Amino acid sequence: MSLVSAVTLREYLPEVQGTGIDAGLTSLISRVEEMIARWLGFPGISPALDEATLTLFIDGPISTNSNLLQLPVKPLVSVASVHSDANLVFSSGTEISTGNLILDLELSQLIIKPTVSSRGFVSAHRGNKVVANFGYSTGSPPDDLVHAICVWASQLQRQKQTLGKLSIGQRGNSLTPAKPQMPEEVKEILRPFRSPSVLM
């Protein structure tokens, strides 16, 4: 489900009157949100920004602390289960109780509590299996994220008439239309939302 509605996007398109093109705007929003999700580092062929359960396999903790596991997607919302197994069986005996973990939701990190006398996360290819919820609430997404989606979507909506054209004539002049790529303004707004996986 999209974080932004056609009603919200129309606030960025004052030239659009009424609800006649809302279906088209809704489709555009879906495509923009998918492209932004991919740029932010959400996994999958058709990634989405809204909250969803993902199963991740992570090679290991950071080298200096075997009790800290950096997850490759953010924001982290909640954790259902964590297994740490170099043999990749992930049986009940390899589960790390969520009660023994500190969840850093903002940094998307799992930290084994210092009071827990157990081994840390394993260092092995795909040796740590994490089932957790990631993403943004459709009811209250961050304002900056909504703004970035609307800025890019409104730009793409206005560029529809020039897509695929190498030049356009305007008042006797030939102009080269802007390429339909993510604007630098949008990238700057989105940088704090990028996942650790795209920054490493």
Give 58-94 pLDDT, tens digit per residue.
999 977 889 999 999 999 999 999 999 999 999 999 9
**What's the full length of the chain, in residues?**
200
What are the residue ranges spanned by the domains of the chain? 6-48+141-160+179-199, 52-134
- Where is pLDDT greater, at 199 or 66? 66
Cβ-Cβ contacts under 8 Å for 101 (sequence gap 6 or more): 79, 82, 110, 111, 112, 113
Q: What is the mean pLDDT of residues 31-43?
A: 96
Q: What is the pLDDT of residue 63?
A: 75
| pTM recorded for the entire structure | 0.85
Range name among 75-84, 90-99, 191-200 with the lowest pLDDT average: 191-200
> Given pLDDT bands bounded at 50, 70 and 90, which one contains residue 172?
low
> Given pLDDT bands bounded at 50, 70 and 90, which one contains residue 160?
confident
Q: What is the pLDDT of residue 198?
A: 77
Q: What is the mean pLDDT of residues 132-146?
A: 97
Residue 47 burial (10 A CB sphere; 0-12, 13-18, 19+)? buried
> Given pLDDT bands bounded at 50, 70 and 90, which one contains residue 165?
very low
Q: What is the mean pLDDT of residues 164-185?
A: 64
Record the tokens describing residue 159, joined without a space.
């560029």
- Where is pLDDT greater, at 62 or 123? 123
Mean pLDDT, the chain, rounded, equals: 90
Q: What is the mean pLDDT of residues 47-68?
A: 92
Residue listed under structure tokens 């054209």: 165
CA distances 117 to 5, 14, 113, 165, Å, are 49, 61, 9, 65
